[in-house]
Structure 1
Amino acid sequence: MKLFVCVWIIGYMFGVARACLDIPEYYGGLDSSLVIGASTLASPASSCNCCGLCHQDTACRSFSFRPDTGECTLYNRVGGYGELQRQPAGSQVTQFFFMPSSSGSDEFCRSDSDCVTPGDACRGRICTSDPTVTCRRAWERNGALPDHRYFGYLDGQEHRLYCRMQGQYSGATLLLASHNVPTDGVAWSADNVLYKLHPRDGYPSEAIDYSILRYADLIRDSMSGSTYEVFMIAHEYQGEPTVVQKLTASRSLTLIGTELVPLSGGQFQVNPTLAYDDGWLAFPYLINDPARSELYTTINSRTSYLTWRSVVTTGGDLLWPLNRPRATVVLYIRE
């Protein structure tokens, strides 16, 4: 309804029907170097009024608007991650909009028709010729972006991704969030361990059961270089502190294989090294055994010790690191 009203107002005022576009969840403004005008609109004002001002200025390509103060700021570019000063979750007050059919490479978009550079398409809400868009793509343009959900593009489809941008993660993409009790009423199984979204909205989060493991190799292969990084995080539980471990792996290693690849084989390194890693740690792999409750593990064993490093199970506590009960274990990839 809001979009329709804005289109009608702008069409009535300027003889056009070009709605100002937004991207859900992207709040904030652009770098101050792109500002071409700023004003405080009299109450009651809305983003439609600010959109009207942008239409009046032939140099305007995007704008931000604060509903609580009426602040309207115009910019001379659509902008992208490199210019976005995104507000973190919990502080999202500044709305951001851009003009259609005005986006250069690496700038925001809603459809292919927004992209003006030959060869570009709208993938993960940015104009690009790249076939894959992940969290690292956003981080490389702007290392100050907050941890949050971002749009990505995997295997020809748009996806919302959860990204850890800050600290050692530097644009890591959440691949898996596993809990000892199903968060959506649907237990883990061999049928969903590679792909599991919340049935309500599919939004990624560490707080819900989530898996896009089926895209692990695609994300890994979207960059070159001899290695890639995997972060395993076991959240605090029953007095056990949060543990974070980084695995630096040969790019030939897969996160969705069924072969046991031990640490001692030299195909990956870990930091920090935890107790018993030398003898008991393997690269994450899938368990293809219907008789077992474990579906995904990092244990260097095919025997009864398999339970000791269970990352995803069909039921019961997770055990990670070695034989330490956990309620939540998550896995990120930084290609």
Structure 2
Amino acid sequence: MAGPPHCCAVTVLLSLALLALLWTSEACLETAWNSGRMDADQQLQVLTIAPSQDGGCTCCAHCHYRPRCASLSFNSATSECELYSSVASYSTLQPDYARQWSYYVMPGRSESGQFCRQDSDCTASGDFCRGRFCTSLDKVTCRTVAETFGSIRHYAVEPPIFGWIDGKEISVVCWMTLSGKGYTNILWSVNGFSFSFSTLMNYDLQPQIGARSILHLAEFLRESETNPSYHISVWSVTGGIWTELLSYEAPRDEPVLQLAPRANSWLNHRRHSIVHWNVSMLWMPYSAPTLLTINRDDGQTTAGAMARTDGLIEYDELWVSMLE
């Protein structure tokens, strides 16, 4: 996995000792969340960097010079520099949506559950850097984060986080429920976006367009758990109003996607009153324009269509998420 960008691209006029430390270290690399700060009880020191210096680099240098400093935040607006005695986790980092506080970690300081950049950052035996935090788990999803940290609802709605799925790091979009469950989004479709057969299965996050798919990982997610069933939730967005159209559980050995409608194998399901068609589990018609639908009777109508080659769906947006 390639490392995130360095904190500073140029050196500043520090003492030769500090410069030597900077040149010989991997200090001050961005981590899973590169914007935020920690609570005051984690602070080792608070500094104000002189305007004549490169503030971010100087703040990094001060942290590297102190053996107990594990991470730091620098405020680009106020030139404040905060040095911390530990590395943040999802539960201890305070997100900064104004993006004035940049957060960095020092190498080799991360305990279990704390942010990291690479395996060598993790101090606990058996831990690896997966989903950009140290863990011994071989899979990291939104469900993992929710069950490990309780929830991350103090972050933005559907915050993009890093997962570790099928041996690779991947950006995931989460839906964290009030009850503390973590759903991993596997499809985000927007009215007007034309999917193809290839992009339906794998399409990188495009927030300016409003379309994304990691459906190619759906069966891996299903097969990676041992409990007897899995849960799918389908939400629509129209005029900013979110509505859960369909929710269902299915036996663990039932594929997430098939080539025919299915309505007799799910364990239970719940559909909203606005749904005006007979519902099915997710299935993929043989031919375009509809590529994915939850309509049991008609695989080509826009009613129940999740993704189409002509971009026509009945809602502004559709979200398909999996409790895995």
Shift of the 166–38 alpha-carbon distance from structure 1 to 2, 3 Å rule, reads farther
Give the corresponding residue for 1:283: 281
Q: Which amino acid aligns with 1:311?
A: M
The count of residues paired between Structure 1 and Structure 2 equals 310
Give the corresponding residue for 2:169: 158
Give the corresponding residue for 2:43: 35
Give a deviation string over 1:176-222, Cα, whole Å, max 9, x none.
Answer: 1123323xxxx42223311122xxxxx35484221101112323444
Which whole-Å CA distance do the structure 1 matches of 2:13 and 2:136 have between them? 34
**Kept after mapping to 1: 8 A contact 2:30/2:103:** yes
Give the corresponding residue for 2:268: 268
Cα drift, residue 75 of structure 1: 1.2
Give the corresponding residue for 1:5: 10
Cα drift, residue 94 of structure 1: 0.7
Give the corresponding residue for 2:306: 311
Cα drift, residue 242 of structure 1: 4.3
Q: State the TM-score, normalizing by the size of structure 2.
A: 0.83
User: Is 1:245 aligned to residue 245 of structure 2?
Assistant: yes
Give the alignment partner of residue 105 of structure 1, picking from 107, 112, 123. Answer: 112
Cα drift, residue 226 of structure 1: 4.0
Shift of the 305–2 alpha-carbon distance from structure 1 to 2, 3 Å rule, reads closer
User: Is 1:48 aligned to residue 89 of structure 2?
Assistant: no
Shift of the 63–267 alpha-carbon distance from structure 1 to 2, 3 Å rule, reads same
Gaps of 5+ in 1: 198-202, 319-324
CA RMSD of aligned residues (A): 3.0
Give a deviation string over 1:280-312, Cα, whole Å, max 9, x none.
Answer: 11111222x13x4211010122x5775431111
Shift of the 2–59 alpha-carbon distance from structure 1 to 2, 3 Å rule, reads closer
Q: Which amino acid aligns with 2:38?
A: L
**Kept after mapping to 2: 8 A contact 1:139/1:145:** no
Give the corresponding residue for 1:298: 294
Q: Secondary structure at the match of 2:10?
A: helix
**Kept after mapping to 2: 8 A contact 1:234/1:329:** yes
Gaps of 5+ in 2: 1-5
Q: State the TM-score, normalizing by the size of structure 1.
A: 0.80
Give the corresponding residue for 1:330: 319
Cα drift, residue 100 of structure 1: 0.7
Give the corresponding residue for 1:123: 130
Which whole-Å CA distance do the structure 2 matches of 1:8 and 1:170 have between them? 49
User: Is 1:208 aligned to residue 210 of structure 2?
Assistant: yes
Shift of the 125–8 alpha-carbon distance from structure 1 to 2, 3 Å rule, reads farther
Cα drift, residue 332 of structure 1: 1.8
Q: Secondary structure at the match of 1:64?
A: strand
Percent identity, aligned pairs only? 25
Which whole-Å CA distance do the structure 2 matches of 1:53 and 1:217 have between them? 47
Cα drift, residue 249 of structure 1: 0.9
**Kept after mapping to 1: 8 A contact 2:201/2:213:** yes
- Give the alignment of 1:86-97 within 5 angstroms: 86-88=95-97, 91-97=98-104
Which whole-Å CA distance do the structure 2 matches of 1:8 and 1:160 have between them? 37
**Kept after mapping to 2: 8 A contact 1:146/1:165:** no
Q: Which amino acid aligns with 1:154?
A: I
Which whole-Å CA distance do the structure 1 matches of 2:111 and 2:146 have between them? 19
Q: Which amino acid aligns with 2:63?
A: C
Shift of the 135–2 alpha-carbon distance from structure 1 to 2, 3 Å rule, reads same
Give the corresponding residue for 1:59: 68
Give a deviation string over 1:145-203, Cα, whole Å, max 9, x none.
Answer: 32322111111111112223364784322211123323xxxx42223311122xxxxx3
**Kept after mapping to 1: 8 A contact 2:202/2:213:** yes
